[in-house]
Chain A
Amino acid sequence: MIFFQIFLAFFIPGILGYGGGPASIPLIENEVVDRYDWMTVNEFSEVLAMGNALPGPIATKMAGYIGYSEGGILGAVVGVFATVAPSLILMITLLGLLMKFKDSPRVKRLTIVVRPVIAVLMGVMTYDFVFSSYEGIGVTQTILIGGISFVLMEKWKIHPAYVIASALVYGALVLV
């Protein structure tokens, strides 16, 4: 029974959570705190804070942890499956169709027409990250880290793994 509840608790945010993480958090909170009362609001915000300190999408981390704390390993699997599977199945079928007609002029036209929209979406994400960095560590640090990482990644073609790793170390030591 608990597994069915876990599935529902993360299926609904998985389906309604448009725009990834930030959209699904209130939906998850509504299920986990209000409906099933698995944790209090402060416990939920603690888990959320931990999630934000770790890499990867917030929704799957919440699903994995809360699923685990309510139903063990299987609970975690059910929670993550409920978050990921629905839209992934939709994605694979739709893109499968698209790819089948890849060379048709219509699909080519779609690729060309939709590209500016994607550029705008990513531009907005870039702005959000810059703004949150400005709010988090201030202008000088943002420009310093941003500038150096640009040179490292774009001019000297250093793989982001090393740049991110060094930013982590820098953050742990300097930004304390």
Chain B
Amino acid sequence: MKQRDLFLAFFRVGILGYGGGPSSIPLVHKEVVDKYKWMDADEFGDILALGNALPGPIATKMAGYIGFRVGGVLGMVNALCATMIPTIILMIFLLTALNSYKDQPWVKGMAEAVVPVVAVMLGVLTWDFIKKSGKSKLGWTWTGVSLIASLVLLQFLHVHPAILILILLVGALVKKDSSPSEQKQMGGERK
């Protein structure tokens, strides 16, 4: 049952994920957090954080890890196959049999029409993350400050996201154990 859900969830992600890896992020969020509730949004955020700190496509890392978390090694292989195989088979078939397929105007129209839809999905998920961050212990002021700081670092100073995330990772984990006051605050975070 779980393996079947895993396959269906990531099959949908694989088939609908137009525009490459990033477009699968909101799709995976909808399946894993909203629909099957295999994990909450916080954990999904951690997966994204670590996924962005590591090389290679984000979609396969999400599929592989979440498949592993939900259904062990079999789940991992299951989710990976579901995400990748359909589109690879399609690619092999179209490139060998129907080589002229991609020059058809309607193919181009198809791929282009999906781009704004993915932009909306990504935008909504971005706003969710910002709202969640504002409501969390960080609070709106610090959320605003860190949003601007990250934007400047990433987009204008071209700091690599992996470096920024790793610095935060080390900073958050290494800082000596939280002082009592933080302990109290930590407990007070509204879920």
Contacts and interface: CB of A to CB of B under 8 A. Distances in A.
Interface string A125-137: 1101110110011
A: contact size bracket = 35 or more
A72 to B, nearest CB: 11
B47 A53 contact: no
SS of A interface (majority)? helix
A33 interface: no
B182 A117 contact: no
Contacts of B154: 117, 120-121, 124
Given A54-B91, A168-B113, A60 B60 contact: yes
Contacts of A57: 17, 20-21, 24, 57-60
Contacts of A52: 20, 111
B71 interface: no
Nearest to B84: A60
A95 interface: yes
Contact of B22 (A129, A146, A154, A163): A129
Contacts of B95: 46-47, 50, 65
A113 B146 CA distance: 8
A59 B189 CA distance: 40
Given A92-B68, A115-B133, A172-B106, A123 B172 contact: no
16 contacts: A14-B55, A56-B20, A56-B59, A60-B57, A60-B60, A65-B91, A84-B64, A87-B56, A99-B69, A105-B182, A116-B133, A116-B146, A154-B124, A168-B18, A171-B109, A171-B111
Interface of B: 12, 14-27, 30, 42-43, 45-52, 54-61, 64-65, 68-69, 76, 80, 83-84, 87-88, 90-92, 94-95, 99, 101-102, 105-126, 129-130, 132-133, 136-138, 143, 146-147, 150-151, 154-155, 160-162, 164-165, 168-169, 171-173, 175, 177-178, 182-183, 186, 189
